[in-house]
Chains A and B, each alone.
Chain A
Amino acid sequence: MKISPFSKTYEGRCVLDFPGIELQHGRIYAIVGANGSGKSTFAKILAGILRPDKRDRLFSGGAIGYMPQKNYAFRMSTKANLLLNGNDMARANALMDAVHIRHLANKRADRLSGGETARMALARLMMKQYDLVILDEPTAAMDMETSLLAEKIIVEYVKKTGCALVLVTHSLQQARRIADEVLFFHEGRLLEVGTAQQMLTSPEKDETKRFLEFYGF
């Protein structure tokens, strides 16, 4: 699956200049970088939420699924939220079990806690099969235990569906745990790409080294 090059300019300032990339099925790509490096803008453009400067087709694959940074729970039950994205009740139950929210199935989703909402949103997205899945900091509202649970589910989903998954994350540990490749963004540019092992242990660019050092790598 190919993602064409694109850029995004806000008020005359280029905030993202992406050179394009080829994604492989069944692989997880972690997008890392400091605040304001363009990670979320990249995810939003890829998901079709934001328009790039040139409105060409960016993604040559099929269906795209996207989980935004701020998860929105519709004013209905947790179960109904999942069923918005497909009618398979058995799958909805299995997913609610997997993310430990089955006991909240009939509770109003807009009254769930932040962590519960994030788990519901993840389960809701996984009701359907996509060719490319983009998750923008899916575990930001979760505690460590739940975060590890979510990571396990994400990996299983990728294995089962064979989709390519783009994971925007602040956590380098998370990238190391589940990503096959890491894309390092710096000031709106894709600075370095490599396998998780290679990027986190022997980065080439000085900016990447400084960023990793700052996070204790």
Chain B
Amino acid sequence: MKTSLMKAIELIASMDAELLDILSVTAQMSLQSSIIALLIGLPIGIWLGACRFPGRNVLLVANRTLMGMPPVVCGLLFYMLFSGVGPFRHLRLLFTVDIMIMAQVVLITPIVVGNMETYVAGVAPAVRETAKGLGLSGTKTFLLLCSECIYQIISAYLLAFSRSIAEVGAVSMVGGAISWKTNVMTTAIMQYTNRGNFSLGVALGIILLSLSLIVNIVISLLQRRLSR
């Protein structure tokens, strides 16, 4: 462990080019996929939480099922769709960062939706009742509901980002973990471990955890600032 920690520090200090590339691909994939998932999942989650309509329960069950989708199944699906025999082969997206982002979006959007839906379903009746009682417009009510959910939005984003940065099954399948192209932290850890280079694998693991810690600290500070 001590060796791994030293190696992690050495890796960072040496500004190893391959490590920087892995970090860059990881950041690109995690940030983009979590932001896209938030942009898609947020309105759907609020809509499902705030509105009652026929078929809502079916959508909720479908979303909960998708929340539990194994990443390798998602990876397999994308592989089949974009591989040489798939219907989208002409897009030539397989083994690119773009398809990794797409697979991640499919994996984490249901988590954002589920997270928002649960919270909004709890707070929406009181917000709606109060807003209606005051005679506020539908738009104003919706904006108020969004502002009441601000902590939850941050929390949902954190969840999406954490899931995205830690995911390995789907990204290795559709990205192929190609060095200098689609290799991210998690797939690199797998590669080093498979080669028997455990200390380098653990070192990358420590860097990954540190990154996650930094993001959590930044978001906690943001939440604390907003709660004043």
Contacts and interface: CB of A to CB of B under 8 A. Distances in A.
Interface in A20-77: 47-49, 63-68, 70-72, 74-76
A91 interface: no
A75 B133 contact: no
Contacts of B135: 63-65, 85, 128, 130
A65 B129 CA distance: 11
Contacts of A76: 147
A167 to B, nearest CB: 14
* Most chain A CB inside 10 Å of its own CB: which residue of B127, B133, B147, B148: B133
B136 interface: yes
Interface string B97-132: 000000000000000000000000000001101101
A88 to B, nearest CB: 14
B134 to A, nearest CB: 5
Given A64-B135, A124-B134, A72 B129 contact: yes
Contacts of B130: 68, 71-72, 74, 121
Interface in A123-142: 124-125, 128, 130, 134
Majority SS of interface residues in chain A?
A: loop
A125 B134 contact: yes
B148 A49 contact: no
B144 interface: yes
* Most chain A CB inside 10 Å of its own CB: which residue of B126, B129, B140, B148: B129
Interface string B133-152: 11110001000100110100
Interface residues of B, number: 14
A89 interface: no
A84 interface: yes
B126 A65 contact: no
A65 B127 contact: no
Interface string A104-147: 00000000000000000100110010100010000000000000
Contacts of A72: 126-127, 129-130
Contact of A66 (B127, B132, B144, B147): B132
Given A74-B144, A74-B148, A48 B127 contact: no
B133 A68 contact: yes
Contacts of B129: 49, 66, 68, 72
Contact of B134 (A70, A75, A128): A128
B113 to A, nearest CB: 22
A130 B132 CA distance: 13
Contacts of B132: 47-49, 66
Contacts of B126: 68, 70, 72
A16 B79 CA distance: 59
Contacts of B136: 84-85
Interface of B: 126-127, 129-130, 132-136, 140, 144, 147-148, 150
Q: Across chains A and B, which 4 residue pairs bring their CB atoms closest together, nearest first?
A: A66-B133, A72-B130, A72-B126, A85-B134
12 contacts: A48-B132, A65-B134, A66-B132, A71-B130, A72-B129, A75-B150, A84-B136, A85-B135, A121-B130, A124-B134, A125-B133, A128-B134
